[in-house]
């Protein structure tokens, strides 16, 4: 397809002015507003359930929260940031970056805060929307920028509600609570727990990390950028662009290519680095054995930390590997009968990663509900479209590259593809665009087979796996993703008048 030049005003005058609703004002929602304006679509409204933008970075404010993608790669291509303080930036700094980009592009003039979308219904020509407050709206197109990591997952542990102290999920952190001198327990060993442990261990009286499954930890230095380096970035935009491209190339041809091929040399190097990190960092052989996973590195989402092992070896820290039997008013009872007395219980138990658009009640063609369409599991063609739901496009939807690339890069690639579908609606070639069931089934069969070659399918239990044990992430390299999303294959779509 030939892309429309958004600067060609003579063309734009002849195009249909689509009404677009974006759901969510996180990273992908901000991107959507900016890109929609660039292609000449200004009739846009963003509905955001919270009272400020930021998405994941707004909600995750626990101590030590940071991105595991290098800062200059986790940046919009059109908004390089010379002010990143570290190679891997802390969460508050990413939130500030998103706010600064939104301010520069006046994104918030199109955002309606405090309105949670509850219903979307396709009436045959447009999408009808309703929010929790009863507000209604309609649009030709809906872009779901609802994210993946924003519905907290709470563990099914007996007595969880009986704890007499403070209980909080890492994504619902109470920033007004001082942990000084308190006994803190953390359930979970994923990235949020690994980032929290070394950040708070020197402040608390004691720290108990309840581990069900050990994690491989990839060592990663996180040096600060010097003032001279930041000045060079400010003075030479080309240098900043080159750095972004260099990191992208290294990331794509290194880690990202390795995890989609379990037998690759790159995967072997990653495993060796993780093992060396454990052996070289943990002195006590018993603790080292308990921290050593019984599955391949990378099978679960690889945890990256420069100081977790240092933190868990502090004198006031304890790794608890006995199974949790239940929670009582005074703390956590483990299977050995021991009560671990606590003042604060932190649930670092991740997110419900199968939600995407849900719990919004979405109804498509002939009354088909999204819950019905996803009754077995969430799926989407190229992670963007689901059959039966015309003119509804997802950014970072099901089965996308959530585990091995920068989600900002992914969203930009996806929007470029969606923009080409929007061209069909704008120039009158179609009144609605909907991916076919056949194309979706063919893609899903191909993806499922390929997923068996990834390191995520090598025998662990992780949030990457669906109900069949098949990894839900994109199973090819990033270049393949770019290639497939370079231009839509219109034979894979129903184009209705």
pLDDT tens for the chain, 497 residues long, are 444 444 443 344 478 899 999 999 999 999 999 999 999 999 999 999 999 999 999 999 999 999 999 999 999 999 999 999 999 999 999 999 999 999 999 999 999 999 999 999 999 999 999 999 999 999 999 999 998 877 899 999 999 999 999 999 999 999 999 999 999 999 999 999 999 999 999 999 999 999 999 999 999 889 999 999 999 999 999 999 999 999 988 888 888 889 999 999 999 999 999 999 999 999 999 999 999 999 999 999 999 999 999 999 999 999 999 999 999 999 999 999 999 999 999 999 998 878 889 999 999 999 999 999 999 999 999 999 999 999 999 999 999 988 778 999 999 999 999 999 999 999 999 999 999 999 999 999 999 999 999 999 999 999 899 999 999 999 999 999 999 999 999 999 999 99
Q: Where are the beta strands (DSSP E) in 201-254?
A: 206-210, 217-218
Helix (H, G, I), strand (E, B) or coil at 341: strand
Share of the chain above pLDDT 90, in %: 88
pLDDT of 253 reads 80
Using CA atoms, how far apart are residues 162 and 183, in angstroms rounded to an integer?
17
Topology of the domain comprising 9-151+352-496? FAD/NAD(P)-binding domain (3.50.50)
Closest by CA to 127, choosing from 138, 119, 116, is 138
Q: Where are the beta strands (DSSP E) in 6-135?
A: 20-23, 44-48, 111-113, 117-122, 127-131
Residue 310 near residue 226 (C-beta atoms within 8 A): no
What digits encode the pLDDT tens for the residues 142-199? 999 998 877 899 999 999 999 999 999 999 999 999 999 999 999 999 999 999 999 9
- Helices marked H in 46-145: 56-59, 91-104
Topology of the domain comprising 160-221+260-347? FAD/NAD(P)-binding domain (3.50.50)
Handedness of CA 461, 464, 469, 473 (dihedral sign): negative
Residue 389 near residue 398 (C-beta atoms within 8 A): no
- The structural domains of the chain, with segments of one domain joined by +, span 9-151+352-496, 160-221+260-347
Closest by CA to 200, choosing from 83, 362, 62, is 62
**Going by C-beta distance under 8 Å and a sequence separation of 6 or more, which residues neighbour residue 203?**
179, 180
What single-letter DSSP state applies at residue 14? Answer: T
Do 9-151+352-496 and 160-221+260-347 show the same overall fold?
yes
**Distance from chain centroid for Cα 35:** 20
Residue 305 near residue 217 (C-beta atoms within 8 A): yes
**Going by C-beta distance under 8 Å and a sequence separation of 6 or more, which residues neighbour residue 201?**
207, 311, 312, 314, 316, 317
Residues in the chain: 497
- Residue 147 has a CB neighbour count (10 Å cut-off) of 22
Closest by CA to 314, choosing from 195, 467, 197, is 197
**Going by C-beta distance under 8 Å and a sequence separation of 6 or more, which residues neighbour residue 297?**
216, 218, 267, 270, 271, 274, 275, 455
pLDDT of 476 reads 95
Average model confidence (pLDDT) across the chain: 94
Helix (H, G, I), strand (E, B) or coil at 131: strand
Query: Rounded to 10 degrees, what is the CA torsion of 294, 300, 304, 309?
Result: -30
- In the beta sheet, which residues pair with residue 346? 168, 186
C-alpha distances in Å from residue 359, one per residue of 136, 244, 363, 366: 17, 36, 12, 20
């Amino acid at each position: 397809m030939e892309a429309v030049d958004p600067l060609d005003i003579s063309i734009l005058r002849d195009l249909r002015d689509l009404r677009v609703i974006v759901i969510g004002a996180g990273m992908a929602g901000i991107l959507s507003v900016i890109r929609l304006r660039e292609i000449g679509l200004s009739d846009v409204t963003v509905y955001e359930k919270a009272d400020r933008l930021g998405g994941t970075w707004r909600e995750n404010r626990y101590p030590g929260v940071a991105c595991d993608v290098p800062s200059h790669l986790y940046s919009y291509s059109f908004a390089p940031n010379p002010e990143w303080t570290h190679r891997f930036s802390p969460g508050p700094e990413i939130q500030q970056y998103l706010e600064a980009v939104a301010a520069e592009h006046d994104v918030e003039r199109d955002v309606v805060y405090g309105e949670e979308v509850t219903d979307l219904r396709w009436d045959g020509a447009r999408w009808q929307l309703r929010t929790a407050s009863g507000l209604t709206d309609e649009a030709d197109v809906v872009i779901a920028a609802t994210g993946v990591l924003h519905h907290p997952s709470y563990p099914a542990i007996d007595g969880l509600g009986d704890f007499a102290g403070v209980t909080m999920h890492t994504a619902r952190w109470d920033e007004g609570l001082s942990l000084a001198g308190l006994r803190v327990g953390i359930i979970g060993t994923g990235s949020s727990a690994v980032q929290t442990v070394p950040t708070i261990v020197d402040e608390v009286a004691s720290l108990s990390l309840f581990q069900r499954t050990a994690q491989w930890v990839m060592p990663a230095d996180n040096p600060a950028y010097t003032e001279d380096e930041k000045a060079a970035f400010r003075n030479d935009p080309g240098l900043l662009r080159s750095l972004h491209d260099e990191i992208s190339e290294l990331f794509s041809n290194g880690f990202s290519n390795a995890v989609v091929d379990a037998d690759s040399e790159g995967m072997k190097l990653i495993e060796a680095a993780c093992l060396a990190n454990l052996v070289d960092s943990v002195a006590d052989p018993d603790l080292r054995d308990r921290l050593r996973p019984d599955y391949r590195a990378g099978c679960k989402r690889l945890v990256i930390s420069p100081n977790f092992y240092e933190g868990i070896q502090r004198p006031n820290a304890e790794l608890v590997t006995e199974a949790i039997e239940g929670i009582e008013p005074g703390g956590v009872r483990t299977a050995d009968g021991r009560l671990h007395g606590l003042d604060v219980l932190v649930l670092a138990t991740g997110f419900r990663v199968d939600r995407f658009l849900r719990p919004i009640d979405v109804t498509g063609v002939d009354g088909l509900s999204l819950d019905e369409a996803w009754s077995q599991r969430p799926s989407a063609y190229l992670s963007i479209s689901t059959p039966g739901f015309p003119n509804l496009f997802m950014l970072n939807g099901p089965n996308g590259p959530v585990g091995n690339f920068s989600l900002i890069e992914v969203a930009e690639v996806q929007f470029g593809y969606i923009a080409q579908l929007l061209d069909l609606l704008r120039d009158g070639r179609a009144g609605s665009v909907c991916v076919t069931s056949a194309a979706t089934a063919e893609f899903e069969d191909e993806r499922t087979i390929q997923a068996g070659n990834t390191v995520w399918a090598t025998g662990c239990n992780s949030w990457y796996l669906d109900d069949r044990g098949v990894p839900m992430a994109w199973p090819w390299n990033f270049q393949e993703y770019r290639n497939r999303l370079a231009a839509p294959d219109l034979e894979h779509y129903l184009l209705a008048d």
